[in-house]
Amino acid sequence: MELRQLRYFSVLAEELHFGRAAERLHMSQPPLSVQLRKLEDELGLPLLDRSTRRVELTAAGLELQQRLAQVLPLLDEALTGLDEVQLGLRGRVSIGFVSSASYTLLPAGLRRFRELRPHVEPQLLPLTTSEQIERVQEGQLDAGIVRDPAASALYASTPLRSERLVACVPRDHALAAAELVTPAEVVEHPLIGYPRHLMAGFVDLVHAALAPACRQLRYAHKVVHEETGLGFVAAGEGITVLPETVREQLPVSIRAVTIDTELRSQLVAVTAPGGVESAAAAAFVECLVAAARG
């Protein structure tokens, strides 16, 4: 049994005339009659009474007509817009992001995306870099905004922004009045760090920037989220090193001082490898690139 046969029957049941039904269906009358005969054969019962001068529905035919009147509109509705989903013009897209992307880049990119794709609903998930990469590889996340990811063939990378490193210190700290501090000055104080297994690239970058000034870095605490790290800084527990965009959301109790190093932290968009990302995800990344360019 084919869906088109049910549609043919539904039209004939309305017209009760093979000629008019065939005209509505943009086909000739003989193929229409053949298809309806096949439908009756598959069901094993007559749907049409052809013994009179006009076509009439049998009891089974009338019941089928009533059922199809309920089912076919729902099916049509379910199929509507699938081409737009394929093109990334409708549906949903899941986006992960590190917290440092939420200050300027994500809001600007999101606003642009909503303007260009008003019928696509972004699902935003705050996740660490490692969590995002894992979910992108497993197909659970359409795109991610990560920091300092390792190069890999397991995901596609699009550079977004390069940022200097800053030392976040309490406003009354000895380094707070400086415009620029050296790594040696930073490592004189306890550090608030982050777990390497969740953000290996950034942790390694910070270590590379500071380690030449000290054989072993002193960590007072290690936390998952930079908001927690800043809370510890405000409490006087130590210094935390973050990308310079953190300045966008610092409380008045904390000051960010630029670290004198050539190393930069890279904010990167990741998607499925080999250009197999969804059209909506590709469009979202384009909006992020445009936002990063200002």
pLDDT band at 216 (very low <50, low <70, confident <90, very high): confident
Question: Taking 70 as the threshold, does the pLDDT of residue 87 lie above it?
Answer: no
Give the residue-averaged pLDDT of 156-163. 95
Q: d(Cα 190, Cα 265) in Å, to the nearest integer?
A: 21
Give the residue-averaged pLDDT of 62-73. 90
Per-residue pLDDT at 182: 96
The answer to whether 198 and 127 have CB atoms below 8 angstroms apart is: no
Tens-digit pLDDT profile for residues 15-50? 988 989 999 999 999 999 999 999 999 999 999 988
pLDDT band at 211 (very low <50, low <70, confident <90, very high): confident
Per-residue pLDDT at 83: 67
Contacts of 39 (CB under 8 A, 6+ apart): 1, 5, 6, 8, 9, 47
Per-residue pLDDT at 81: 64
Per-residue pLDDT at 234: 95
Q: Which of 53-62, 69-78, 160-169, 266-275 has the highest mean pLDDT?
A: 160-169
Q: d(Cα 165, Cα 258) in Å, to the nearest integer?
A: 6
pTM of this prediction exceeds 0.75? no
| Backbone CA torsion sign across 181, 184, 186, 188 | negative
Q: Treating both helix axes as pointing N-terminal to C-terminal, what angle do 59-79 and 3-15 enclose, rounded to 10 degrees?
A: 120
Give the residue-averaged pLDDT of 55-65. 90
Give the residue-averaged pLDDT of 62-82. 82
Mean pLDDT of the chain: 91
Question: Taking 90 as the threshold, does the pLDDT of residue 3 lie above it?
Answer: no
Per-residue pLDDT at 248: 87
Question: Taking 70 as the threshold, does the pLDDT of residue 158 lie above it?
Answer: yes
Q: d(Cα 129, Cα 183) in Å, to the nearest integer?
A: 25
Burial of residue 85 (number of CB atoms within 10 Å: 0-12, 13-18, 19+): middle
Per-residue pLDDT at 85: 63
Per-residue pLDDT at 88: 66
SS3 230: helix
Give the residue-averaged pLDDT of 169-186. 95
Per-residue pLDDT at 76: 76
